[in-house]
Amino acid sequence: MHTHAICLFSRQLGSSAMAFDSDSIRGRSDYEYLSEIGEGAYGKVYKAREIGSKNRIVAVKKLNLPGDPEAGIPPFMIREVALLRKIEFFNHPNIVKLLDVSACILNQSLDLTLVFEYIDQDLKSFCEGKILSVDKIKDVMKQLLRGLDFLHSNMTVHRDLKPDNILISSRGEVKIADFGLARLYTYQIALTPCVVTLWYRAPEVLLQSGYMSAVDIWSAGCIFAELFLLRPLFRGFSEAQQLKKIFELIGLPSEEEWPQESPVRYSPAWGPSGMVRPGSQLLPGLGVDENVLLMEFLAFNPSNRISASQALAHPFLAEA
């Protein structure tokens, strides 16, 4: 079987350019595949052992795109690798580490291999069947927000933050993973609406209006509530149902607050009128500080939503 590499990605910080470097290409025999640990629309993730002197356990993400390989690497693949290359320079403790990348033509398909540090489990499996202490919830949120603060400070929006994409090591290290929907952004652009797992989507995404890094903060707020509830906060099964569930909790904004560019029409039928105001309790089982922080995560207007750095300084999370 004939295979050959077609490109690699530049390691230069901040660059999304591709560069040829045949000496850096890793062969398929470099890893012993132990088990499949995940699957997505474009490929699978495996637990593997690196063959050689390191003999370390890694996670290998293999993306395969059938069709004409001469068309080149799809933009979403370039985007993920470019972002990971950009942020790996800083070696942030709350961002999963990319160890290696290679791309080649294999059986008339484009085959991209990303090798990451192996982390034991994701937040979803970590929370199953247990009640988390308040201290543990604080620890998870602090690490998550530090990772988000780093991404947002580097002009990166994750856009698909959910428990499945947050990893927790056996040592309690929280790491944000899976940048398949991430985008570099500037202050002059708005991003496309068809992103983010439904239960964690911000209202501006559901309303198909422009958005920025605040979409990640909304998702973090949903995750924050889920750590207490041990179930998703908003479990809608359509975009309309998701909006209704959101407005049932935070209240319906006024027509003046509704995004003017949204193709979704304002209607009193969306939910109870009047946004929940400061001092109210979103979730009765939470204390005052937790409710205030949750309300600031889930502000309808993204410009009123708390930032990651501000959340880290909130009384509930700030160091004593």
| Cβ pair 176, 165 in contact under 8 A | yes
Active site members: 160
Beta strands 156-157; 109-117: pairing state: unpaired
- Annotate 264-298 with b (16+ C-beta within 10 A) or e (fewer): bebeeebbeeebbeeeeebeeebeeebbbbbbbbb
DSSP per residue, 34-85? EEEEEE-SSEEEEEEEE-SSS--EEEEEEEEE-S-GGG-S-HHHHHHHHHHH
Amino acid in the structure at residue 286: L
Q: How far apart are CA 212 and CA 229, in angstroms?
A: 27
| Cβ pair 243, 203 in contact under 8 A | yes
**Spatial CA neighbour of 119 closest among 45, 64, 55, 183:** 45
- Annotate 156-184 with b (16+ C-beta within 10 A) or e (fewer): bbbbbbbbbbbbbeeeeebbbbbbbbbbe
